[in-house]
Amino acid sequence: MTKPHAGHFDPKPVLDLIASIEADLQRLKGLVEQQIEKFDPANPHNKAPDGKLTEEGVECCYRMFDEGKSRYSVSQQMRISFAAATHRFNNWRKLGGNKRQRTLLG
């Protein structure tokens, strides 16, 4: 086996590949950051003007339960009563817990 000589290596294809990967990573980072923003428990879109949870708010609760958060934690982060969090927790369990079908946020 012979070693390649330094003069025979063309860095352009490697640099092009790196640039392409960096662009893909930036696009992926943007998508993930959007998901984080949508999954904000304090997001005002989680509640309707009457104070009840919107579909996004309910899904946000369910995702917090998916992560193993307690009803107390969900009530604090979502700024809802413990009774409301308990109600959502019971519905989450009826839907299959963390095996339930997730809905899209946003």
* Residue 35 reports pLDDT greater than 70: no
Residue 16 corresponds to which tokens in the numbers above?
A: 């092009």
Q: Which two tokens stand for residue 92?
A: 């989450």
Higher pLDDT residue, 21 or 2? 21
Cβ within 8 Å of residue 16, ≥6 positions away: none
Q: What percent of the chain has pLDDT over 90?
A: 48
Residue 54: which residues within 8 A CB-CB, separation 6 or more? 45, 46, 47, 48
What's the whole-model pTM score?
0.61
Spacing of C-alpha 92 from chain mean position: 18
